[in-house]
Amino acid sequence: MLTVRNLRKYFRFKRGLLSTVQYIRAVDDVSFSVDRGVTLGVVGESGSGKTTLGLTVLRLLEPTSGEIVFNGVDVAKLSKKGLKSFRRSTGIVFQDPYSSLNPRMRVKEILERPLKIHGIGSGEASLDSVSGVLEDVGLGEEHLMRYPHELSGGQQQRVAIARAIILKPQLVVLDEPTSSLDVSVQAQILNLLLDLQYRYVLTYIFITHDLLTARHVSDVIMVMYLGKVVELSRAHELFLNPRHPYTATLLSSIPLPDPKLKTRKRMEVVGEPPSLLNLPKGCRFHQRCPYATDKCRLEEPGFTRVGDDHLVACHYAHELSFEGFTLW
């Protein structure tokens, strides 16, 4: 349903007394595809380009270059009219539910707005759609006339989810939809999203820094580091058999539920990620990788296939093994 090829999003700005032009390469030559009804999990630490990728795929940010092909149409080349039609087929749920909802609008008005923009229904038909989607996300008619500040964090996120799916889209981008919620509420929202995916036949791009959450909801997982994809695999394969040192680092950082029941190896990394303004040559992870060689410092690795639907951007993908670094 969605194919992204060589997508780039650079942010241009001027710096210093001479106003030297520089670029932040937030998303740099990213390619992937998503089948209908599948959840693609996008994971990585802060600053890896996950959110920028999601916003660019929906053209909420204009891509610097590359192709975004949705149902056979290149979204990057759509006119204003075509873009409106595309947006009817997509939705987004932001990380902070309160700031994503208009504080001056009641829940009823928030949910009616997408219908009005796209000229769908009016009067009673519009109210029926609003009431129906509100019920689907676990809220009742008593919430219709409330303002966002009168709702709990979990209720606010349910309203944001209802707004994203009220037009019955095909693709929904979920930008860390549970990270600002209490742990008890997180599980409820995740289960709600899975239920809605089944009921509405939705395709998700699920952005998160929490690998356990990604494992729970994702069919395929894509690991990003400094704007690049470093590993792409089926979820179960990634957790059982990680092949990139950065992925092994993320997995080994997951706390053990009970250290007495299982021991495992730890991936030791040094330093902080380099600045996006001064990216290193070669592999972007080599400054922190314990396995880095001169080849890693000089040559940027391409993708290596290490199994069915398992791609790794590492020069030594076939040689490195991280058995014992994971919980499974």
What mean pLDDT value characterizes the chain? 90
The confidence band for 52, taking pLDDT boundaries of 50, 70 and 90, is: very high
Q: What angle do CA 184, 188, 189 make, to 5 degrees?
A: 115
Q: What is the pLDDT of residue 260?
A: 66
Does the 2-225 domain belong in CATH 3.40.50.300?
yes
Beta strands in 218-313 (DSSP E): 220-225, 228-234, 304-307, 310-312
Question: Which pLDDT tens digit goes with each residue over 84-134?
Answer: 999 999 999 998 888 999 999 999 999 999 999 998 877 788 889 999 999
Q: What is the pLDDT of residue 277?
A: 83
Where exactly does CATH 3.40.50.300 map onto the chain?
A: 2-225
Give the residues across from 204 on adjacent strands.
39, 172
Q: What is the pLDDT of residue 328?
A: 65
Question: Which pLDDT tens digit goes with each residue over 55-91?
Answer: 999 999 999 999 999 999 999 899 888 899 999 999 9
Give residue for tokens 């951007």. Answer: 313
Question: Which pLDDT tens digit goes with each residue over 246-277?
Answer: 999 898 888 777 666 566 677 777 778 888 88
Where do runs of H (alpha helix) occur along 79-152? 80-88, 97-100, 107-117, 124-136
Tokens of 221: 């997982």
Would you say residue 306 has pLDDT above 80? yes
Q: What share of the chain is helix, strand, coil (3-state, %, to 5)?
A: 35, 25, 45
Tokens of 223: 């690991």
Alpha carbons 195 and 36: distance in angstroms, whole number = 16
Question: Which pLDDT tens digit goes with each residue over 191-240?
Answer: 999 999 999 999 999 999 988 899 999 999 999 999 999 999 999 999 98
